[in-house]
Structure 1
Amino acid sequence: MQTDPNPTGPGDAPEAQPRRPDAPSSSAVDLTRFAWLSIAAAVATIALKTGAWAMTGSVGLLSDAAESTVNLVAAVVALIALKVAARPATERFLYGRAKAEYFSAAVEGAMIFVAAAVILVTAVERFVNPQPLENVGWGLAISVIASIINGAVAFVLIRAGRRYRSITLRADGRHLLTDVWTSVGVIIGVGLVALTGWERLDAVVAFAVGVNIIVTGISLMHESVSGLLDKALSDEDHEVITEILRRRTDGTVTFHGLQTREAGQQKFMNVHVLVPDEWTVKHGHDYIEDLERELMGRLPELTVLTHLEPISDPTSYEDIPAAHVRIHDDDHDPTRPPQL
């Protein structure tokens, strides 16, 4: 338990301490092995796709290889971000460094824009000056192998990202999955070039790849910025939290001022707990401890901060944050003491 920085009066109970960010939890998992897997996949696909481009001379396959280069850079950045985010809290970073993962997603989004620009410029140049393709069959076969590798790794990363609430792994996995669909489009496009003889179609495919990459980059940047701006928890998490608080509201205890946020794998919430005036400090402390255990039992990665207040004191209803999560239904007025 941790006392409020503002001294409490003799009749007030202390506030509950949030769980230490470096305390063991389900989120304290080494995720760098997934980054190493992504790096290995990127190196393999770069070699394969570059070989396919060299054999065919297809600018579409070149654009596919360029995106794999971005994958490698992004995977290295992800590895660094995951290592930084996994460091324990210190006196300088009291809540840890979980938000380092958002910087990784932002860098990956920026790298995607760079790759898209190079691809678009190359596609326009090839459209103006079309060139015949060679060894299309072998080039496409190699590209298919590279796509299978990327697809398998993307599946692993996305599943791990959802399981461990890692934006870095989700971003990397989504990027690889986009790369897979990009490769499918390139394979189809280059195949059609070989069948129809329309050489400019190769450039059209490459241009479409560039546009698709830009869309992915915008999505990653949006998610990264939202995280850095302390986005609230998901509706699903809010439902879990409010269900517990509503169930505990019984006329003698109630709650208001619920706020939440997330930082990488960590979740945070704070709420005001209004209890009977005659409760002792120990009684209030025990109640808060039991509430925190129930909340963290349902959401293991949650850090809980509570503010204990006397339920019949009008001043307890004057400090409700302007922006908060609704806990009760419309019949419950959280700004006034209940009629006991």
Structure 2
Amino acid sequence: MTHPNPPHHSHAPSKLGHLLKPHSHDTADKTDAALESSSRGMRVLAVSFAALMITALIQAVIVALSGSVALLGDTLHNFADALTAVPLAIAFSLGRRAATRRFTYGYGRAEDLAGIVIVTLIAASAALAAYEAIKRLITPEDIQALGLVAAAGVVGFAGNEWVARYRIKVGREIGSAALVADGLHARTDGYTSLAVLLSAGGAALGFPLADPIVGLLITVAICFVLRDAAREIYHRLMDAVDPALITQAEQTLTAVPGVEGVGAVRMRWIGHTLRAEVDITVSHELTLIEAHAVAVEAEHRLIHEIPRLRAATVHADPDGPPDTDHHSPLQTHR
């Protein structure tokens, strides 16, 4: 792998020009990695969309044969869940667009907006499940063709759980909180399908109230999943990162030759990639070119050591001379 910013350059003007923009690793490598993450996300959406549509179509056939209203609701829910791939697909597509003078960091945060839509859908799922459970508790309904309904519940659970695992796994690997939230949403639908299965079993044992009681329990489970998904998206919207990443970055910077101290370290997610802003201290006896080389090496090591970090802006402060405040003009602005 080649690096366009090695510690020593052959042309001084290029060094000075580079000081005016963030130090950055191989642009082609970063772009390829970001596009590959988006491509994986799109593949997940396509495969999970197909899996959920097949699941819902199988359930629809059994609905036609059994006339189960409960199963009809679960089937419609699965169709709706398949359609949550749409806002995510739009977000991934937008994330591939180049940065502009208005959107200087690109369009990666569109994933967070998609995550809000998904959390809203999970909340709606919980509300719908609670409504149906209370309605059936007040006016119990008989379930016909219990064997077929139970089979459809198993199909619904299996399909949703497979999709949930797939979305959550890839979402965490590429750093997409929205994809993880969508996986959690699929898991809630699997719980809803289980409710159909358990209610059919209760009806077969002569306990028709099993259907609404299980429905209420599933609503509680969906609320827990909603909490996790909402927390995931909230953290992204508030630019939260794992504190362990900050510690790792500080340790990485401390080990860079020429770094005398490490100041503020900030990171934020933009889509499923990280950007960082760090302050380091270098010897005041270094030349501008030497200090620049230390900053470039600091960013170089950060990009290699921090997962999914694509760029870092490294600010180097001199450590002296004694009793000199290099930031005094900024004191009134801080």
Q: Distance in 2 between the 1:278 and 1:25 partners?
A: 39
| Residue 113 of structure 1: how far off its partner (Å) | 2.0
**What's the CA shift string for 1:191-210, capped at 9, x where partnerless?**
12212x11121122223333
Alignment equivalent of 2:296, drawn from 274, 282, 289: 289
User: Which residue matches 1:217?
Assistant: 226
Report the residue type matching 1:212 in the other structure: A
| Residue 53 of structure 1: how far off its partner (Å) | 4.5
Distance 1:59 1:131, change over 3 A: same
Aligned 8 A contact 1:70 1:111 in 2: no
Alignment equivalent of 1:229, drawn from 238, 243, 249: 238
| Residue 68 of structure 1: how far off its partner (Å) | 1.7
| Residue 239 of structure 1: how far off its partner (Å) | 3.0
Alignment equivalent of 2:172, drawn from 162, 165, 182: 162
Aligned 8 A contact 2:119 2:226 in 1: yes
| Residue 296 of structure 1: how far off its partner (Å) | 0.5
User: Which residue matches 1:76?
Assistant: 86
User: Which residue matches 2:51?
Assistant: 41
Alignment equivalent of 1:107, drawn from 90, 108, 117: 117
User: Which residue matches 1:323?
Assistant: none
- Of all paired residues, the percent bearing the same amino acid is 25
Q: Distance in 2 between the 1:300 and 1:143 partners?
A: 40
User: Which residue matches 1:202?
Assistant: 211
Aligned 8 A contact 2:153 2:197 in 1: yes
Size of the alignment, in residue pairs? 306
Report the residue type matching 2:22 in the other structure: Q
Between Structure 1 and Structure 2, the one with more helix by share is: 2
Q: Distance in 1 between the 2:194 and 2:233 partners?
A: 27
Aligned 8 A contact 2:167 2:180 in 1: yes
Give the alignment's Cα RMSD to 1 decimal: 2.8
| Residue 132 of structure 1: how far off its partner (Å) | 1.5
SS at match of 1:212: helix
User: Which residue matches 1:145?
Assistant: 155
**Does residue 272 of structure 2 align to residue 265 of structure 1?**
yes
Q: Distance in 2 between the 1:56 and 1:210 partners?
A: 25
Distance 1:70 1:166, change over 3 A: same
Aligned 8 A contact 2:188 2:225 in 1: yes
User: Which residue matches 1:19?
Assistant: 24
Distance 1:41 1:160, change over 3 A: same
SS at match of 2:246: helix
**What's the CA shift string for 1:81-124, capped at 9, x where partnerless?**
11112222122211111111111111011122223323322222
Distance 1:209 1:52, change over 3 A: farther
Runs (5+) with no aligned partner, structure 1: 2-12, 321-340
**What's the CA shift string for 1:227-262, capped at 9, x where partnerless?**
12221x213322321221233387x72111122222
Report the residue type matching 1:151 in the other structure: E
User: Which residue matches 1:311?
Assistant: 319
Q: Distance in 1 between the 2:195 and 2:257 partners?
A: 56
Q: Distance in 1 between the 2:85 and 2:113 partners?
A: 13
Runs (5+) with no aligned partner, structure 2: 6-17
Distance 1:185 1:128, change over 3 A: closer
SS at match of 2:153: helix
Q: Distance in 1 between the 2:127 and 2:163 partners?
A: 26
SS at match of 2:281: strand
**What's the CA shift string for 1:56-98, capped at 9, x where partnerless?**
5555534533432341232211111111122221222111111
| Residue 42 of structure 1: how far off its partner (Å) | 2.5
SS at match of 1:262: strand
User: Which residue matches 1:242?
Assistant: 250
